[in-house]
Amino acid sequence: MKPAAFDYIAPRSLEAAVAALAAANGDGKVLAGGQSLMPLLNFRMVRPAIVIDLMHIPGLSFIELRGDRVAIGAMTRHADLEFSDIVAAKLPVMAAAMRHVAHLAIRNKGTIGGSLSHADPAAELPMLAVFYGATIKVQGPAGRRDIPAEDFFVSALTNCLEPEEIVFEIEFPVLTPHAGWAFEEVARRFGDFALASIAVSFGLADRRIADARVAVMGVADTPRRLREAEAALQGHQGDPEAAAEFAEVVRSCLTPESDIHVSAEYRKNLIGALAEKALATAWARAAGPAP
């Protein structure tokens, strides 16, 4: 199918893009990499009066280390994150996750700002934003505001942006000293959206887990940070008993739904299995083989 007719502009500044979006009175859409928006337009699932292309706005594509944070411009492509030395060194869970995002052709076009704004519950970058406790920086007609990632995702494909707001930057805290980390995902085919996925990281104190962080996706209508599961890891080691207990806590935090791909029960079992695997991998990275 072809999209319904729309006006198109390609502003040269963020301010001009926000002004155009505000002038559209809720009937405008910003275009980033187009990997989600173009299919929606083609299937006429969205019919905006105007499409505002962010591609020609300078200064929206960058990856910068700023002290204990990594700042990423909203128009930074998935492939730039995948191959970035800064991401590899400072955000290793993101580095591991990026090759699971669709296929290379899509990663060459899709952007982090587009992925977060699209808010797919089985997309890697929204989950990583929640996992790292990222701050999403947005600009609207009244100025800029910072949104914690956990507040950004409201439900499946719905974020908390006002209609005239645009994401321009995302700041990820570096989790130091988290020597133990893992990212596990299962999709029907490599590159498909995940059936379920988990990210885990922690530091060690006296060879015991400290300051654990756990987030999941594909098992709820938004990505979720699991504080109960984080608490369950505290003070433990990566032995099989701890891994089994961790998996049980992760399962108990979630009530996934059945869909055309798999049943709710399958998803719940899957996320538990991924949790066990993630803990074993993270522990091996931090401390060597399990005790």
Nearer to ligand FAD by C-beta: 130 or 232?
A: 130
Single residue of 76, 92, 118, 280 touching ligand FAD by CB under 6 A = 118
Cα–Cα distance, 216 to 224 (Å, whole number): 5
What would you measure as the largest C-alpha separation in the chain, in angstroms? 63
Does residue 102 touch ligand FAD according to CB under 6 A? yes
Single residue of 166, 182, 242, 249 touching ligand FAD by CB under 6 A = 166
Does residue 167 touch ligand FAD according to CB under 6 A? yes
Nearer to ligand FAD by C-beta: 35 or 281?
A: 35
Q: What is the DSSP string of 216-237?
A: EESSSSS-EE-HHHHHHHTT--
Neighbours of 240 (CB within 10 A): 12
Token pair for 167: 């994401």
Distances (CA, A) of 116 to 48, 135, 179, 272: 20, 12, 27, 26
Q: How far is the CB of 168 from ligand FAD (least distance, A)?
A: 7
Single residue of 117, 135, 197, 281 touching ligand FAD by CB under 6 A = 117
212 to 241: interface string for ligand FAD, x by CB under 6 A: ------------------------------
Give the pairing type, strands 50-53 and 28-31.
parallel
Strand order in the sheet with 28-31: 7-9, 50-53, 28-31
**Do 130 and 138 meet the contact criterion of CB atoms below 8 Å apart?**
no
Does residue 111 touch ligand FAD according to CB under 6 A? yes
Does residue 193 touch ligand FAD according to CB under 6 A? yes
Q: Which residues bind ligand FAD (CB under 6 A)?
A: 29-37, 54, 74, 101-102, 106, 109-111, 113-115, 117-118, 123-125, 161, 166-167, 192-193
